[in-house]
Amino acid sequence: MGSSMSCCGTEKVEEVPTSFGAVNNSWRIFSYKELHAATNGFSEDNKLGEGGFGSVYWGRTSDGFQIAVKKLKAINSKAEMEFAVEVEVLGRVRHKNLLGLRGYCAGDDQRLIVYDYMPNLSLLSHLHGQFSLEVQLDWKRRIKIAIGSAQGIFYLHHEATPHIIHRDIKASNVLLNSDFEPLVADFGFAKLIPDGVSHMTTRVKGTLGYLAPEYAMWGKVSESCDVFSFGILLLELVTGRKPIEKLPGGVKRTITQWAEPFITKGKFRDMVDPKLRGNFDENQVIQTINVAALCVQSEAEKRPNMKQVVNLLKGYEADREVTRTRIHSIVYNDELLTQDEPSDDEGGGTNSYGVLNAIQVQKMHDPYKPSDIK
């Protein structure tokens, strides 16, 4: 994509027809001057947050559109590759549950990607961040977010050409529009999979706590890795807990380690986020937890594909009612867990290139205390 990305000041517009509903149907190349003006000179007052990738700013274009601008802070080979991959993938995908490309700017020393601004920020900000105490996510919204996110990932795996593996499904990469419709975001780590290829071996990218075991240990990436990550996300949505939580004494525990005994004993109600105050559909909770348990099976071949996940969450596969599923939690060794420190500590930074991953640097509030099953 080298030559097409070099004309930062061009006003080229490319129309991209779509049939997926309320999705942007065009993107264009922005000038740096235009984005500078839209963000008030990349003002601190406009900053949504920052991370290892750089900073994300809120802006308003001259024609009135609210945008989020990701401004990379370093132009090295790693950042250049992830920028190119994200622009490439964003230019291909068209689905109501995927964050589309509004445009980009690529000058001699600047790399910026422009998206629609999501007023409700990320799922992470509502589960663990600045909005967590406001409890805007009732059960109906949570199940809508689960199904919508699953539909977006299903599109990547089964309808996009070539198929796309996201490789970084997590709460901070699920953005929420004004109606709390979810849009899966951040394609900097994505892999395009040629026809006939079932898996690839690659350098491990992503976020500890969401990584499938075969990927974390051997670098083997497939669509099933996204399924595992989505299973963790489902558990997070239902329980309100973090994928990895720190216990007294510095010991860390994964959400699957916490959930496994509850699921084994069928104590599903005890798993639900207490902030919901008992206001949820118990049958949907049981179904969602059991779908999550299927997704986080340690053996990739035992996991469902995303088409099956969508149908199970919607209740379409009545003949395949999900029964209680035992999960065998993977245990990260101490060396891996120490790598989780930057994102686990309050106010810690992140080395990933999430669209609004900067939300992670907001002061986090954890309303839970570790408890044992009685």
Tell me, yes or no, whether 369 lies in a domain.
no
Question: 124 forms bridges with which residues in the sheet?
Answer: none
Q: 215 and 192 share a domain? A: yes
Which one of 82, 116, 150 terminates a domain?
Answer: 116
List, for residues 286-327, the tens digit of each pLDDT value. 999 999 999 999 999 999 999 999 999 998 765 454 555 566
**pLDDT confidence of residue 72:** 86
Region at 330 (left for phi over 0; alpha for psi -120 to 50; beta for the rest): beta
Tell me, yes or no, whether 191 lies in a domain.
yes
Which one of 116, 142, 174 terminates a domain?
Answer: 116
Q: 172 and 291 share a domain? A: yes
Which residues are CB-neighbours of 97 under 8 A, at least 6 positions away? 148, 149, 151, 152, 155, 181, 182, 183, 184
**Secondary structure string (H, E, C) spanning 251-299:** CEEEHHHHHHHHHHHCCCHHHCCHHHCCCCCHHHHHHHHHHHHHHCCCC
Q: 267 and 333 share a domain? A: yes
**pLDDT confidence of residue 92:** 80
Tell me, yes or no, whether 54 lies in a domain.
yes
Count of domains in the chain? 2
- Around Cβ 11, how many Cβ atoms within 10 Å? 10
- What is the CATH classification number for the domain harbouring 171? 1.10.510.10
Q: How far apart, in whole angstroms, are the C-alpha atoms of residue 104 and residue 90?
A: 11
Tell me, yes or no, whether 172 lies in a domain.
yes
Q: 58 and 129 share a domain? A: no
Tell me, yes or no, whether 13 lies in a domain.
yes
345: pLDDT strictly greater than 80: no
Q: 75 and 158 share a domain? A: no
**Listed residue (244, 103, 222, 226) closest to 174, CA to CA:** 226
Q: 110 and 130 share a domain? A: no
Write out the catalytic residue numbers: 168
Q: 130 and 75 share a domain? A: no
**pLDDT confidence of residue 6:** 33
Q: What is the mean pLDDT of residues 68-88?
A: 83
- What is the CATH classification number for the domain harbouring 63? 3.30.200.20
**pLDDT confidence of residue 319:** 47
Torsion angles phi and psi, residue 144, rounded to 5: -65, -40
Please give the model's pTM, rounded to 2 decimal places.
0.80
Q: 299 and 325 share a domain? A: yes
Amino acid at 347: G
Q: How far apart, in whole angstroms, are the C-alpha atoms of residue 337 and residue 347?
A: 18
Q: 293 and 173 share a domain? A: yes
Q: Which residue has the tokens 């920020």?
A: 121
**Listed residue (188, 295, 286, 189) closest to 238, CA to CA:** 286
Q: 193 and 85 share a domain? A: no
Q: 62 and 177 share a domain? A: no
Tell me, yes or no, whether 366 lies in a domain.
no
Measured over the CA atoms of residue 209, residue 119, residue 67 and residue 26, the dihedral's sign is positive
Is there a contact between 171 and 123 (Cβ–Cβ < 8 Å)? yes
Q: What is the DSSP string of 168-207?
A: --SGGGEEE-TT--EEE---TT-EEE-TT---EE----S-
367: pLDDT strictly greater than 60: no
2: pLDDT strictly greater than 50: no
Q: 100 and 167 share a domain? A: no
Most confident of 32-41, 207-216, 337-346: 32-41
Query: Would you place residue 29 in the very low, low, confident or very high pLDDT band (cuts 50, 70, 90)?
Result: very high
Q: How far apart, in whole angstroms, are the C-alpha atoms of residue 66 and residue 229?
A: 30
Which one of 116, 151, 179 terminates a domain?
Answer: 116
Range of the domain at 338: 123-361
List, for residues 188-199, the tens digit of each pLDDT value. 888 887 665 555
Tell me, yes or no, whether 373 lies in a domain.
no
CA distance from start to end of the chain: 58
**pLDDT confidence of residue 218:** 87
Which of the residue ranges 16-20, 37-41, 90-94, 335-339 would you say has the lowest mean pLDDT?
Answer: 16-20
List, for residues 123-173, the tens digit of each pLDDT value. 999 999 989 889 899 999 999 999 999 999 999 999 998 899 999 999 999
Distances (CA, A) of 372 to 252, 261, 320: 15, 10, 32
Tell me, yes or no, whether 254 lies in a domain.
yes
